[in-house]
Amino acid sequence: MKILIVTQYFWPENFRINDLATALRDKGHHIEILTGIPNYPSGRIFGGYRIWGKKKEHFNGISIHRVPLMPRGNGGGVHLFLNYMSFVVFTSLLGPFFCREKVDRILVYEPSPVTVCLPAIILKWVKDAPILFWVQDLWPETLSATGAVKSKITLKIVGILVQFIYRQCDLILVQSRAFVSSIKRFGITQERIAYFPNSAEQFYRPVSPDTCSALKNKMCDGFRIMFAGNIGTAQDFKTILDTVEILKANKQIQWIVLGDGRMRPWVEKQINARGLEPNIKLLGRYPAEEMPKYFSHADALLVTLKKDPIFALTIPAKVQSYLACAKPIIAAIDGEGASIIIEAGAGLVCPSEDPQQLATAVMRLHNMSKDERDKMGQSGRKYFEKHFERNMLVDRFEKMLNHLPRENFKCGL
């Protein structure tokens, strides 16, 4: 089957769509990628690329067509608007010329913005092919929750746009079951919605710290709590820093952050202002393939989100990565993500934006025996294998592709 994947983010940017594309190619499908110039999360165009540079390259034998876009810059409102809109405009104009062959399915990957689907709708009309829309973030709710948009009128307009997009899609895939009701309120029937959670790449697995002992030199001795991922508004670093401050007198508790993002300068200033340098280390961003090695030196893995109804519906993608690596999890999140960690028996959960309860959870895990913590990690790994294992989910996705007959989809408004 010929599958065209439309995504604003792709390799060398680190997103789960990279692995799904590779897995589908391994299954014998012909995969093409239509994407932009890589610039996430730093906001700067990656080395070796230019806005008007290379138009075509390959990744793991997959053809990639790149369209120009304005980089995210510092992630401010104007920069993000130009980033999102430039991708829509250039992909809509150039996509039909870059991807000239007939395709059987169009898959759209959406970890924000929802506008990534607009060029795919044009391609649907041109190529007479159905769209599968994999929703990672709910709009307009995410815009409101992160504070990116505060105007009720603007949010209403975005809602109208979202309704138009959803109605053009033949199957909407949701990364969390809790998303279903939000999709339905736009008039989408249950038959056009399917649960398709994130998995984790196969390199996310338990690793012995003895095989990567050199990494230990980057970290302080003690009970290591490790956060990996984007340093952004949604990740609620204020609560993390407040918790570090509560526990700062206990030098055994060490916090390690792997990642980058628009909030990093603010986090660095806060660490300096609060005198938290001995307690928390920002090690920067590393390739995803290196994460299990770093995780092997952690005593617990941390996931946090701001308190908002939309985030309570979300399963942070790092949860699957953490579960796969068989490490106990400390989570300051609400709703669906919290329920999964509790159901898996994979760690301790407390409410979002409550540093005192997060500090209590940290100390409770710290005071457990290593055997107790190891049992949590193993329980999480078993849950991952049952619900999120990569090959199982790829097989499920293939069935969705095959049960979307061409005669059942419609083009146009």
Q: Judge if the upstream peptide bond of residue 351 is cis by omega within 30 degrees of 0.
A: no
pLDDT value of position 413: 37
Distances (CA, A) of 108 to 1, 124, 276: 16, 11, 42
- 3-class state of residue 74 by DSSP: coil
The answer to whether the 2-199+389-408 and 209-387 domains have the same CATH topology is yes
Task: Provide mean pLDDT across the span 110-127.
Answer: 96
Task: Provide mean pLDDT across the span 219-235.
Answer: 93
Whole-number Å distance between alpha carbons of 138 and 313? 9
Task: Provide mean pLDDT across the span 224-248.
Answer: 96
407: pLDDT strictly greater than 50: no
pLDDT value of position 400: 94
pLDDT value of position 150: 82
Whole-number Å distance between alpha carbons of 227 and 254? 11
248: pLDDT strictly greater than 90: yes
pLDDT value of position 408: 46
Residue 67's nearest CA partner among 59, 78, 56 is 56
CATH architecture label of 2-199+389-408: 3-Layer(aba) Sandwich (3.40)
Please provide the average confidence, as pLDDT, over all residues in the chain. Answer: 93
pLDDT value of position 77: 81
pLDDT value of position 209: 87
- Letter for the amino acid at 141? E
Among 113-127, 146-160, 343-357, the minimum mean pLDDT is found in 146-160
Residue 256's nearest CA partner among 218, 227, 299, 296 is 227
- Within 128-254, residue ranges assigned H as helices are 141-145, 152-168, 180-184, 237-246
β-pairing, 62-67 vs 56-59, is antiparallel
Residue 174's nearest CA partner among 109, 239, 121, 262 is 109
pLDDT value of position 147: 77
Query: Do the beta carbons of residue 333 and residue 244 sit within 8 Å?
Result: no
Going by CATH, does the domain composed of 209-387 fall within 2.60.40.10? Answer: no
pLDDT value of position 405: 46
Whole-number Å distance between alpha carbons of 309 and 176? 14
Tens of pLDDT, residue by residue over 297-333, are 999 999 999 999 989 999 999 999 999 999 999 999 9
What is the value of pTM for the model shown? 0.90
Residue 307's nearest CA partner among 146, 103, 166 is 146
Token pair for residue 176? 């969390």
The residues, ordered by sequence, that sit 6+ positions from 397 with a Cβ below 8 Å of its Cβ are 20, 24, 196
Residue labelled with tokens 């619900």: 387
Confidence of residue 146 (pLDDT cuts 50, 70, 90): confident
pLDDT value of position 412: 41
Domains of the chain by residue range: 2-199+389-408, 209-387
Task: Provide mean pLDDT across the span 35-42.
Answer: 93
Whole-number Å distance between alpha carbons of 407 and 413? 17
Tens of pLDDT, residue by residue over 159-175, are 999 999 999 999 999 99
Exposed, middle or buried, 372 (CB in 10 Å: 0-12/13-18/19+)? exposed
Neighbours of 147 (CB within 10 A): 12
Kindly state the percentage of the chain with pLDDT values over 70.
98
pLDDT value of position 336: 95
Whole-number Å distance between alpha carbons of 231 and 263? 6
- 3-class state of residue 185 by DSSP: coil
Token pair for residue 135? 């929703």
410: pLDDT strictly greater than 80: no
Query: Do the beta carbons of residue 236 and residue 333 sit within 8 Å?
Result: no
- Letter for the amino acid at 383? Y
> Sheet of 62-67: strands edge to edge?
56-59, 62-67, 30-36, 2-7, 105-110, 131-135, 171-174, 193-195
Residue 341's nearest CA partner among 291, 377, 367 is 377
Whole-number Å distance between alpha carbons of 350 and 372? 19
Confidence of residue 145 (pLDDT cuts 50, 70, 90): confident
Whole-number Å distance between alpha carbons of 321 and 332? 17
Indicate the Cα dihedral angle 86, 88, 89, 92, nearest 10°. Answer: 150
Confidence of residue 211 (pLDDT cuts 50, 70, 90): confident
Confidence of residue 391 (pLDDT cuts 50, 70, 90): very high
